[in-house]
Amino acid sequence: MTQQPQENKMGVMPVNRLLLTMSLPMMISMLVQALYNVVDSVFVSYISEDALAAVGLAFPAQNLMISVAVGTGVGINALLSKSLGEKNFETANQAAVNGVFLAFCSWAIFAVLGGLFSRTFMTLQTQVDSIISYGTTYLSIVSVVCVGMMFQICFERLLQSTGKTIFTMISQATGAVINLVLDPLLIFGLGPFPEMGIAGAAWATVLGQIVGALLGLYCNLRLNPEIILNFRGFRPSGAIIRKIYAVGVPSIIMSSIGSVMTFGMNKILGAFNSTAVAVFSAYFKLESFIFMPVFGLNNGIVPIIAYNYGARKPDRMVRTAKLGVLYALGIMLAGVALFWIVPRQLLGIFNASDYMLEIGIPALRLISLSFPFAAFGIVTSSVCQALGHGVLSLIVSVLRQLVLILPSAWLLGHFVGLAATWLAFPFAEIFSFSLSCFFMFYMYRTVIQPLEHPAAE
């Protein structure tokens, strides 16, 4: 008789230690990722302010690709962790191999779209020839060669699902370091490397992702015994893919709404001037230093709650959620302090002109007021996803980013001026906080609390 694997640490380790063990490697790797995103833009800003604006205008399309990869990964993560909690190892393995197949399909779709429509996407947002040229070059490379990103995120999620987050950190950090090293070499043509300008920034990004993907594959094949990636005789499973996307699609849509919001904000700000777009681009890079650690925390929360949901351990689920909120709030408050105390120095990283500082300093301070309210919403989103109710997170995201931010930003900008547009962010987050409180209470009453009194068999 085959001996079954012992109980996973997600079901037995003390919750606070478990959450820190699961999340800290991801938070560190997310910080490294945020660092190389910022450094990428810093080097690009020394090409010109138009180049920085171009990267900002390309961001919605780039974020859409990331959203599909991460959202699919969330679905894989939730199904795989829940299956392990239920000791259903066959379903866990099926979730893994079908997830890799979906990563390949996602790359193929974006490679075609990026190759055909990158220039069209840029011309929809600006008529400045230099920005269109920079943006088309950058976007076409990062989309056609997004194969590394798709597989890197997929393999990282497989490692997260079984609690092997240290290997996720190694994979992501390695890719980030390669990007950091290649950025100046390829952009400015240092040493034997050709001077490629903004194309160098794009190639540095995709090459780092490819190396990260290869390392993630190695870690899964050699160091993750709880799942088996066996493609011999593989055929896609419609049932498994539906389960993955039942959680993944709401997450994809929720993240993609961020692309729509960014696209819309770029249009609103571009009506004032390209410097406002550059400020918004710089803000997004700086904001990632605050939000990425919280997203890393979320990556630890999802498998813990999903596993204990499958194992019917509601006390561990509740404690995980509470600790997640406390840690996220602490990170966000630190972000508010940073944006209020040293905004000039933060923007100075991007070679900001006097006019960019004039616009950007009040922008950073006003937008940062939304951070504490966002903390609760982000953790609530992860709880809903882990319990298979990602549509609730989607509702909050749609209302916040489409129904509230864009219309209020346009109205404030049209009737008050550019400086007032930034107030749309705290306004939207305060509303979403209220709705997130309601959804968290709903999930507790309808999903978590009934686990305390299992139905009689």
189 CB-contact burial (10 Å; exposed 0-12 / middle 13-18 / buried 19+): middle
pLDDT band at 371 (very low <50, low <70, confident <90, very high): very high
Instruction: Kindly state the average pLDDT of the residues 33-48.
Output: 80
Contact between 314 and 304 (Cβ < 8 Å): no
267-297 pLDDT tens trace: 999 889 889 988 998 898 888 888 888 888 8
Could you tell me the pTM of the whole model?
Answer: 0.74
Q: pLDDT tier at 231 (50, 70, 90 boundaries)?
A: confident
Cα dihedral 185, 347, 260, 334 in deg (nearest 10): 110
- With tokens 């490629």, the residue in question is 196
Question: Cα-atom radius of gyration of the chain, to the nearest Å?
Answer: 22
pLDDT tens-digit profile of 301-321?
Answer: 888 888 888 788 888 888 988
Per-residue pLDDT tens for 68-100?
998 898 888 888 877 887 788 888 888 899 999
- Cα separation, 220 vs 207, whole angstroms: 20
CB 172 within 8 A of CB 156: yes
Residue 248 to residue 76: CA distance in whole angstroms: 8
Q: Contact 109/126 with Cβ under 8 angstroms?
A: no
Token pair in block for residue 390: 């990602």
Residues 6+ apart with CB under 8 A from 189: 195, 196, 200
Q: How far apart are CA 209 and CA 175, in angstroms?
A: 5
Residue 384 pLDDT more than 50?
yes
Dist. CA 123–CA 328, nearest whole Å: 38
pLDDT at 6: 57
Of 193-207, 244-258, 310-324, 409-423, the least confident: 244-258
Nearest to 400 by CA among 258, 250, 270, 249: 258
Mean of all residue pLDDT scores within the chain:
87
pLDDT in tens, 251-269: 787 778 878 888 899 899 9
Inter-axis angle of helices 371-386 and 49-85, nearest 10: 40
| 3 has a pLDDT exceeding 60 | no
The predicted pLDDT at position 182 comes to 93
Does position 14 have pLDDT exceeding 60, yes or no? yes
Kindly give the interhelix angle for 15-45 and 274-310, rounded to the nearest 10 degrees.
160
Residue 1: predicted pLDDT: 41
Stretch 159-183: mean pLDDT, rounded? 84
Between 131-135, 313-317, 366-370, the lowest mean confidence (pLDDT) is in 313-317
Q: What is the pLDDT of residue 2?
A: 43
111 pLDDT band (50/70/90 cuts)? very high
User: What is the band of 114 on the pLDDT scale with cuts at 50, 70, 90?
Assistant: very high
Q: How many whole angstroms separate alpha carbon 353 and alpha carbon 366?
A: 20
Rounded CA gap, 335 and 332, in Å?
A: 5
User: What pLDDT is recorded for position 121?
Assistant: 94
List the one residue out of 217, 200, 240, 250 whose CA is nearest residue 70.
Answer: 250
Q: What local confidence, expressed as pLDDT, does residue 328 receive?
A: 93
CA dihedral (369, 248, 280, 208) in degrees, to 10, reads 120
Q: Is 296 left (phi over 0), alpha (psi -120 to 50) or beta?
A: alpha
Q: What residues contact residue 55 under an 8 Å CB cut-off, 6+ apart?
A: 40, 41, 44, 134, 135, 138, 198, 201, 281
User: What is the percent of the chain with per-residue pLDDT over 70, rounded to a whole number?
Assistant: 96
Band the pLDDT of 453: cuts 50, 70, 90. low
Total length of the chain? 457
Q: Which helix (H) or strand (E) holds 299?
A: helix 274-310
State residue 18 phi and psi, 5-degree precision: -60, -45
Whether 28 has a pLDDT exceeding 90, the answer reads no
